[in-house]
Structures are given as structure tokens and as C-alpha cells.
Amino acid sequence: MIEARGLTKRYRDRVAVDHLTFAVNEGEILGFLGPNGAGKTTTMKILTGSLPASEGSAKIAGYDVFEAPLEIKRRIGYLPEFPPLYPEMTVAAYLRFVATLKGVAARQMRSEVDRVAALTGISEVMGRVIQNLSKGFRQRVGVAQALLGSPPVLILDEPTEGLDPTQRADLRALIKSLAGKHTVILSTHILPEVTMTCEKVLIIHQGKLVAFDEIGNLASIYGPGAVLSLEEIFIKLTAA
């Protein structure tokens, strides 16, 4: 479903993403891990078509990100690092706006907006102006806009950021329920969440891929029978 081959992004003399190659199959949930500044957000931006790569190629659902960006954008829901909200709009107006641009038919607009609101737990604040919402609610509105139109691919950059433990649990349950029907890439610093929601994990460090495997198999890098927590593996791999 998602294929990246030799993806590279250079900023003058700095390499943000260095020949990244990986593939995510349909219905999988991939955890994207790495220290701050490793290149996670940059990679996500390249996959969603908002940033061009210097080298390499990326394909989503068979469409090339550079050659058919419009087709890609029709098939993805993206939650950036900072939720892209218009503070002057109400939640309902904002979601309707995004739904229209995503191509949701006018007839289904209401039910679609209500659906994602129920999924993310924001039904009670639909009439509030976004700038008056707490961080947790704003984050959830951001997740809701990514879910509009039920896109086959979801790319979520730190989706549980700013949420309290209950909300985090709800969001984790939501993401788990998406497996199978949707392909999800989610990046986060909270390793226990990765263990709970993701099947596969990709660890990126200084732009390079240092691990890409199922969680259970990762520990075996350090010898057969090794039992290491994800945190220990992460620290070992990103020590340099």
C-alpha cells in the first residue's frame, strides 16, 4: 500500500532523510519511531505530498507521490505535528469545510461529520469556536479531520500529543479498530503505545533506517533469545 524507495531529502548541506526504503502492506499499522530531529516528520510530509524529496520515490496505493499528487491526497488522511485548525471557525464548520474539500458528498456531509465526531469524542463541542478549546479537544479535532472521508491510508504525526490518559486509551482503541480496513503510519515518542497498537515498527535515526521489523522480532537483533524492551532497543539503536 505504501512504498518508499531510496527516499532522500537534503537541505543544503544537511541530510534530513537518507535513502529510506520501506513498505507497509494494506491494513497494517506501522509505528514510526526515532529521536527528535531524526526525520520522521519530514518523511511523513514527503509521503503526503506537502514536501518534495530530493531523491528516491514513494508510492501510495500504486500512485506515485510526485506524479499523481492529487490521487494520493484523495486517499490519505493526514494529521500533521501541529493540528491545522482555523481558530476562528467552529468545530462543525471546520469539519464541514475539510469534508467538502475531501470530496464528501453534500448529502452525506452531516452523517460523516457526526461519525468522526463520535469516533473522536468531540460531539459535545461541535458548536464551540476552535480557539476556545483545550489542547486535548483541539488535538482530537485534528484527528477527526484526518478521519473524514474514511481514507484508506492514515498518516498521524504524534496523534496522542496533549491528551489525558483516558483520551489516549480511547484513541489507541480507535487506531486499533482501524487495522485491516485502513493502513496507518503513526509516529510517537510513547513507546508503550507503540507496543500496544502497532504490529511493525520502523526506527529512524539521523535520517537513516536502523530497524524495520515486527516488534517481537526486533529484540533478536541482539542475539537469539535476547529479551529487550522496546525502550532498550530504541536507546541502543539510536545511541550514536
Partner 1 sequence: MRNVLAIARKELSIYFTTPWAYIVFTFMTGIASFFFVSLIQTFKQVQDMARAFGWARLPQDFSTYRNLTDGVVVQLWGVVMFVTLFLAPFLSMRLFAEEKKQKTFELMMTLPVRPMEIVLGKYLGGLGVICATLALTIVFPLAIALFGSGESGSAIEWSTVLLGYGGLLLWGAACMAVGMLVSSLTESQMLAACLTFAVLLPWMLLRNLAQSAEEPLRSVVSYLSFDAQLQNMIKGVLDLKTLVFFGSVILFCVVLTHRAVEARRWA
Any contact of residue 6 with partner 1 (CB under 8 A)?
A: no
CA quadruple 190, 231, 7, 63: dihedral sign: negative
How far is 82 from 99, CA to CA, in rounded Å? 19
Residues 174-213 vs partner 1: string with x where CB under 8 A?
Answer: ----------------------------------------
Shortest separation between residue 210's beta carbon and partner 1, angstroms: 27
| One residue of 5, 10, 51, 238 binding partner 1 per CB under 8 A | 51
| One residue of 26, 55, 67, 88 binding partner 1 per CB under 8 A | 88
Supply the angle between the helices 165-178 and 135-147 in degrees, to the nearest 10: 10
- 175: Cβ contacts below 8 Å, ≥ 6 apart: 29, 156, 159, 184, 186, 197
| One residue of 102, 115, 128, 176 binding partner 1 per CB under 8 A | 102
Q: Which is nearer to partner 1, 35 or 80 (CB)?
A: 80
Any contact of residue 126 with partner 1 (CB under 8 A)?
A: no
Binding site for partner 1 (CB under 8 A): 45, 48-52, 69-70, 73-74, 76, 78, 80, 82, 84-89, 93, 97-98, 100-103, 145
